[in-house]
A and B are shown apart, each in its own frame.
Chain A
Amino acid sequence: MVNGYTPTSLAEALAIRAREIVTPYAGGTDLMIDERREGSYLFLHRVQEMKGIRREGELLCLGAACTYTALMESALTPALLKEAIALIAAPAIRNEGTIGGNIANGSPKADSALIFFVADASLRLASVRGERVMPIRDFYLGRKQLALMPDELIVEVLLPMTWMEHYCYEKVGARKALAISRVAFAGLMTIRDGVIQHAATAFGSVSDVIIRKPELDAMLIGKTVAQAKAVRDAYLEAYREVIVPIRGRVSAEYRKQVCVNLLTEFLSQHGI
């Protein structure tokens, strides 16, 4: 009897996933923390279709089994994602840890997932039954609850690059390396000719799922900076209502206050 599978193609991986009860092993850096070594693992590090980094028009397609280090070394990776990755754990973890694993772990503290949320990325999911593409926001159903079918794998992250250039990223950890985010914030804002073309924000480590509210950010889009200033208080108030932190290593009050502070700072950096 064997308890490990090392497929080299996606078709092979999906066939095993459909046939056996296996835990997908991408980088192992979350999985291996668990003391129990039960069941069988489906090792994904040799599945070529899950290791690519390629540009398709406005989309950057990132293989789910790409390690953080591979992304850091790619010229295609946007600066925002690199900034977030650079603060994840430490080199040894980044050498093995993958974005697919970070997403599939289902934690609101996932630092790379925060970037995929703020960018409104989608996930390409596959099984022997076929493929589907799902916005990452729909993929998270709750804490550790994912819209992943038992026979599916996350194959790629599809990252829209249109608005990635102008960003803000803040990670609040208890130290500067090997730190779990207590609050993480990512914001995108593109202003052309004094008009806000795009605005997006996301908050990690705050609630059960990363907070992303495009309907609130829409309050700013299409407005001039002056107009945005006029709705600033209403915008911040709206966020105060939707940021409902859970208590953890730090208090809920602290989490909320930091979120609001960082959001306010993000606006004022843009003159709002």
Chain B
Amino acid sequence: MLDISRSVAKKDHAPKTNGSAMYVGDFAPDGLLYGQLVRSPYARAKVLGITLPPLPEGYFTVDASDVPGVNQVHIVKDDTPVFAEDTVEFIGDPVLMLVGPNEEEVARLAAAVQVAYEPLPAVTDIQSADTAFFTYQFGRGDVAQAFHTADKVYEESFETGYQEQAYLETQGLMADYVDGKVTVHGSLQCPYYIHGALIKALGLSPDRVRVVQDATGGGFGGKEDYPSILACQVAVAAIKANGKPVRVWFGRREDIEFTSKRHPSLCVYKVAVKDGRVTAMDIDVTFNAGAYTTLSAVVLQRGIIASPGVYEVPNLRVQGRAVKTNTVPNGAYRGFGAPQTFFAVEMMMDHIARDRGEDPLKFKLANASVQGAMTSTSGRYHFPVPLPRMAETVRHMSGYDQKWQAYAAPQTGRYRKGIGMSIWFHGAGFTGSGERDHIKAVTKLHKYADGRVEILASQAEIGQGICTTLCKIVANELNLPLDSVFYEYPDTDRVPDSGPTVASRSLMTVGELLRRAAIRLRSQWRDGEEQVVEEHFTEPDFVIPFHIETFEGDAYPTYAWAACAAEVTVDTLTGVNSLTGVWACFDVGTPMDENIVMGQMEGGLLQGLGYASMEQMAADRQGRIRNNSFTDYIIPTSVDVPVMQVKLHVEEYPHGPYGAKGAGELPLVGAAAAYMAAMEQALGANIRHIPFSAEDALHILTENQKEVR
């Protein structure tokens, strides 16, 4: 183990345990005003008019007419309005905000606002969607010929559901407008995304907009794009509030029902197999984008690039669409499109193996890519692909071989067991050339006269430990004690734009920039003087340029790898299953802090297991999210999972700090497939959708029984 991997007490530990950390809901400034959004009750409707109740002094509303700049939230395509104008496009689309000094009174008045609507026809499910926001296609080879000459062709469809990030702290932001300058602070992942959105919506120059992160109670992607929307709304209210601060802090139900989630998906796979090798895949991916485009383009890109899984597929055709429905817009959630397609491809490969009478793991490894092989986008796996060794590790940890054989034999009695394994990757960092063309990250190190060094970057500490790992890197290069290097919550008035806290990029990309900055500072170090060094992103030379028009080139410079086994026991009387073991091996390069990386791996893994099973959420025909509380949208508790056994495998990435590469998203991506593979063995049937409920399991058991009879 490298010295840098040795765990330290996290920099943000003390305020988080003694209760002194200030989250956005914890501030109580004088004159605080509370904002409550008034939302559409219709999936689609024309807004005819607004009638306000009599407003006591100090209470006011803001709507589209109060937006001083452009009534659009800058995300990617900017079709999301700050407040709805002529039409509302989903249940929850905000029409106006009611603001005032007493929270209960604000809620009462907001409920008394009457908006006249003319309901319009709405599309509320993926099957009936007729508008594609984005369509992409790519591939290579001769797919038709490969299907023609195949030993067998398999075709199956897979569906995945919503997943709610379920961060423990709900979304919340505060804003004030003082001396012509807007300040927004609160729970967020990407200060400069918000900064850009505010400039456009408020029509202010960059220097008159300031964004500051507060302690943030989890993000998982949920606070990547949504805070840009909320920030514009709160800031518009603040401008009208005459210097008083305005806060909007969602209750749990409002947060679950009206903020972004993982895209539900429908994937159709057609796979040709010849002589035990996959020779072609024809893949059609549809993501439910919801009512506005928000991040769907980039989520879809990652999803389809990952759609052939870790497998080497000489003939490939991939089509992806993100379709519009009149439902809550979906956005970023850890894995960013890849969990959907990895579920599909891993189940597909399981089903083919079972049809061939082979151990799925053997079949998968026989078809897996190796170093130097072509990626789905005709780029290269430039670095070692350690899947065989990692799978071997997991086989030994879990006792996979013996268990797989034992459970493959006919099982009788009330409880049945199964074990399954999945293998996957996660492309490290932004998809394609985003880092080079769009983000252009800049970081600084500020050395004070007393010798302390401050990191200036826009990375958000959201629990993943970035404020500790970045400091460790800089302290290591400068040979300073960790106490002498510090990193505050980012403030756009003080820090350069080192990019958003997304895509498992922060440590790998920004960490490396800071390492280089530290090396430079070390070489220029002058005792007792204040010094500042600045470092800019440069793309490594080996990268094959990526072209988004053709989806050709290196979509990612490198990949993090995973293998995971899950073991289940299913109660044949109720369909209820119990996870009896979870074993995983992850390669995220060199861990910058072993505890921190293990915490990321274990936490992400459990989110993936929840995604497969208990995390059920559906929109009804009216387009309303039904499971909108922690009673109805349930996530795993401490007793729902055994000790997850995780081991790290290290393939150093030469362009990441000390060999580190992307980590945060990896553990979630393919966990559902391992879980469902285990369920398939226990149930003796193929599974093609998640979340998979006890009711689904009992249904299969009943059907099996009928067949036996």
Contacts and interface: CB of A to CB of B under 8 A. Distances in A.
B204 interface: no
Interface string B180-213: 0000000000000000000000000000000000
Given A249-B632, A261-B574, A262-B573, A177 B695 contact: no
A145 interface: no
B640 interface: yes
A176 B637 contact: yes
B414 interface: yes
B614 to A, nearest CB: 5
Interface string B603-622: 00000000000101000000
Interface string B563-577: 000000000011110
Interface stretch (A19-27, A159-167, A220-228, A251-259): A251-259
Interface in A236-272: 249-251, 254, 257-258, 261-262, 265
Contacts of A175: 614, 634, 636-637, 640
A178 B637 contact: yes
B695 A261 contact: no
B342 to A, nearest CB: 24
Contacts of B640: 175-177
Interface string A187-225: 000000000000000000000000000000000000000
B639 A258 contact: no
A56 B702 CA distance: 47
Sorting the interface of chain A by its residue count into under 10, 10 to 19, 20 to 34 or 35 or more gives: 20 to 34
B698 A254 contact: yes
Given A90-B637, A249-B632, A257-B702, A174 B614 contact: yes
Interface in B622-650: 631-632, 634, 636-640
Nearest to B251: A35
B694 interface: yes
Nearest to B632: A249
B639 A176 contact: yes
A177 B639 contact: yes
Contacts of B695: 250-251, 254
A27 B695 CA distance: 33
A183 interface: yes
A257 B573 CA distance: 8
A172 interface: yes
Interface in B568-609: 573-576, 578
Nearest to B571: A172
A258 B637 contact: no
Contact of A183 (B414, B574, B634, B702): B574
Interface string A45-83: 000000000000000000000000000000000000000
B573 A258 contact: yes
A265 B638 contact: no
Nearest to A263: B573
A180 interface: yes
Contacts of A183: 574
A174 B637 contact: no
A180 B629 CA distance: 13
B639 A261 contact: no
Contacts of B637: 90, 175-178
A174 B694 contact: yes
Interface string A149-183: 00000000000000000000010101111111011
A265 B698 contact: no
A265 B614 contact: no
Interface of A: 90, 170, 172, 174-180, 182-183, 249-251, 254, 257-258, 261-262, 265
Closest A-B pairs by Cβ, 9 of them: A261-B573, A177-B637, A254-B695, A176-B639, A177-B639, A172-B574, A175-B640, A176-B640, A258-B574
26 contacts: A172-B576, A172-B694, A174-B616, A174-B693, A174-B694, A175-B634, A175-B636, A176-B578, A176-B637, A176-B640, A177-B639, A178-B634, A180-B631, A250-B694, A251-B695, A254-B575, A254-B694, A257-B698, A257-B702, A258-B574, A261-B573, A261-B574, A262-B573, A262-B574, A265-B414, A265-B573
